Copies of this chain bind each other. A is one copy, B any other.
Amino acid sequence: MVAEGLIDKETAVTRVKAEHIDLLLHPRIDPNAKLEVVARGLPASPGAAVGKVVFTAEAAEEMAEKGEKTILVRTETSPEDIGGMAAAQGVLTVRGGMTSHAAVVGRGMGKPCVVGCGDISIDTKSGIFMVNGHTIKKHDYITIDGSAGSVIIGKVELIDAEISDDLKEILLWADEIRTLGVRTNADNPADAGLARELGAEGIGLCRTEHMFFGEDRIPAVREMIMAEDEKSRKKALKRLLPMQKEDFLGIFRSMEGLPVTIRLLDPPLHEFLPDKEELDAKLRELEASGDCGKIDEVKKIIKRVVSLKELNPMLGHRGCRLGITYPEIYDMQVRAIMEAACELATEGMQIVPEIMIPLVGLVKELSITRKEVCKMAETVMAEKGVKIDYKVGTMIELPRAAIIADKIAQEADFFSFGTNDLTQTTFGFSRDDVSKFIPIYQKAGIIEHDPFAVLDQEGVGEIMKIGIEKGRSVKPDLKMGICGEHGGEPKSIHFAYEIGLNYVSCSPYRVPIARLVAAQSTIESKNKIKSLS
């Protein structure tokens, strides 16, 4: 119609619905298929997937090696399941909300995912799960629809994902129209490359901790955590340095010429240690078998796990609080970033690193950490004889940070609103625990959307506005973006445009949607001005 002159590009862009793009970017269920939907959960990550039921990440990985497709069915997932999630076609969990681990990782991977399907009860011992009167055995086929939240018995025909040339053209028009930047959240070169192909203009959030979970890294990470003094901690970090550097080399190459925002270590250290109950069970086993050599080792780990235990880890010893108490961790990470950047710059590449300090709430947390970061960056650049134009900024993810954003801005080259954490603290909601009452709240009309899925404009949005206004009162051109899960959600993208953010950052598969919605926001605002004049 645009080619025929019937409508203009703006009208064309306006007519495409975000939901449609989302559907086109993932395999979907044949609308004509006869389905036996046995349960419903939350539609946590779009697309449909078919596979044989497995109950452990290891099983998913083993089956994938044999070329078998699986659906990973878990009570809930944890960082240790990431390999299995990647190997499976889709993930189904009994617990968790729209920003539970499974949901966030699923969307990040573009992996269909249904979470919080409370009707399911898993009996791993017998290798079955039960749901609403049906019993499904290990290796039985099921199909899940992560766009609808449905769980279906058996193997359903799927229709493949495809971006048509028409859609590609419309997205290029959207790029011409929009003023809001679109970046991606990516932690590895493959995701970064995929996102770039889908139109991302840089990385808005590279979570460095995901790199710590690799099978080859976790022993060094644990050695670092178990270290009893700075010296042995530094020794363990030295082992991690080349691996972290390798990660950054790959990511920088994928994003050559574009900004890459890297968040320094954020989660509490206990996330990298084994679970206490598992360790206790192991200890009892060893004690029964009388294996005295290993008993002491396990006891030592248990002691460390206990000493790191927190009642509310989300509000605990994490983010820049770690960076300040163990500066050698951030030192290693900054060295890895800058060594990688310098080496690629020497090869003639343009590398644009943006180092981001998480969980800042007090000005001095940022000023002290920033000073350390810059010192290490200058040291590495001097060693390599290269000058890189790097930036140091911060997340605004605590109400206190927004409230004192004028002071924080003086120490920051950019702001990135971490709307997941900001939603948690503004509401006093734990994203891992809300699934117990959010559905009841929605039914009772107390809240319309899950605030972890759709940004809460009335509360969280107001706090963001305070942060933006105060930040720009000091630095009018301060670059600001959003890197929470909301960066890929249409209503939230529109809000990000309205409050004057420079960019949104979202998972790779949501980049095309963000491009479209950003353009639609520009058009809508233009039309509003027109209708007023």
Digitize A409-446: 1 where CB-to-B-CB distance is under 8 Å, 0 elsewhere: 00000000000010011111110110011001100111
Interface residues of A in 456-495 (CB under 8 A from B): 456, 458-460, 462-463
Whether the pair B311, A313 counts as a contact (CB closer than 8 A) is: yes
A397 contact set on B, CB distance < 8 A: 428
Whether the pair B446, A365 counts as a contact (CB closer than 8 A) is: yes
Q: Is A404 an interface residue (CB 8 A)?
A: yes
Q: Is A317 an interface residue (CB 8 A)?
A: yes
Q: Of all chain B residues, which has the CB nearest A101? A: B311
Contact partner of A444 (CB less than 8 A), chosen from B315, B324, B440, B447, is B324
Instruction: Determine how close the nearest CB of chain B comes to the CB of A297; give it in whole angstroms.
Output: 20
Instruction: Determine how close the nearest CB of chain B comes to the CB of A471; give it in whole angstroms.
Output: 15
Interface segment among A170-178, A253-261, A356-364: the answer is A356-364
Q: Is A391 an interface residue (CB 8 A)?
A: no
Whether the pair B433, A315 counts as a contact (CB closer than 8 A) is: yes
A399 contact set on B, CB distance < 8 A: 399, 425-426, 459, 463
Q: Of all chain B residues, which has the CB nearest A308? A: B436
A421 contact set on B, CB distance < 8 A: 428
Please measure, in the bound complex, the distance between the C-alpha atom of A258 and the C-alpha atom of B433, giving whole angstroms.
Answer: 39
Please measure, in the bound complex, the distance between the C-alpha atom of A471 and the C-alpha atom of B440, giving whole angstroms.
Answer: 28
Interface residues of A in 63-107 (CB under 8 A from B): none
Known contacts A311-B314, A315-B314, A428-B421; A321/B437 CB under 8 A: yes
Digitize A384-410: 1 where CB-to-B-CB distance is under 8 Å, 0 elsewhere: 000000000000011110011000000
Whether the pair B398, A433 counts as a contact (CB closer than 8 A) is: no
Whether the pair B424, A459 counts as a contact (CB closer than 8 A) is: no
Known contacts A310-B430, A446-B362, A446-B365; A463/B316 CB under 8 A: no
Whether the pair A463, B315 counts as a contact (CB closer than 8 A) is: no
Interface residues of A in 112-132 (CB under 8 A from B): none
Whether the pair A433, B317 counts as a contact (CB closer than 8 A) is: yes
Contact partner of A398 (CB less than 8 A), chosen from B426, B437, B462, is B426
Q: Is A382 an interface residue (CB 8 A)?
A: no
Known contacts A312-B313, A428-B361; A324/B441 CB under 8 A: yes
A317 contact set on B, CB distance < 8 A: 433, 436-437
Q: Of all chain B residues, which has the CB nearest A95? A: B307
A428 contact set on B, CB distance < 8 A: 314-315, 359, 361, 397-398, 400, 421, 425
Whether the pair A446, B315 counts as a contact (CB closer than 8 A) is: no
Whether the pair A311, B426 counts as a contact (CB closer than 8 A) is: no
Q: Is A533 an interface residue (CB 8 A)?
A: no
Whether the pair B430, A315 counts as a contact (CB closer than 8 A) is: yes
Known contacts A315-B428, A400-B427, A463-B403; A325/B437 CB under 8 A: yes
Instruction: Determine how close the nearest CB of chain B comes to the CB of A461; give it in whole angstroms.
Output: 9
Contact partner of A459 (CB less than 8 A), chosen from B277, B313, B403, is B403
Instruction: Determine how close the nearest CB of chain B comes to the CB of A237; give it in whole angstroms.
Output: 19
Q: Is A368 an interface residue (CB 8 A)?
A: yes
Interface residues of A in 328-358 (CB under 8 A from B): none
A324 contact set on B, CB distance < 8 A: 437, 440-441, 444, 446
Instruction: Determine how close the nearest CB of chain B comes to the CB of A88; give it in whole angstroms.
Output: 21
A310 contact set on B, CB distance < 8 A: 430, 432-433
Known contacts A312-B312, A361-B428, A421-B428; A400/B440 CB under 8 A: no
Contact partner of A364 (CB less than 8 A), chosen from B365, B446, B462, is B446
A-B contact pairs, 22 of them (CB 8 A): A310-B432, A313-B430, A313-B433, A314-B430, A315-B315, A315-B429, A315-B433, A317-B433, A321-B437, A324-B446, A361-B428, A362-B441, A364-B444, A364-B445, A368-B444, A397-B428, A398-B427, A399-B399, A400-B428, A403-B426, A404-B458, A425-B426
Q: Nearest 5 CB-CB pairs, A to B?
A: A315-B430, A312-B430, A400-B459, A399-B399, A316-B433
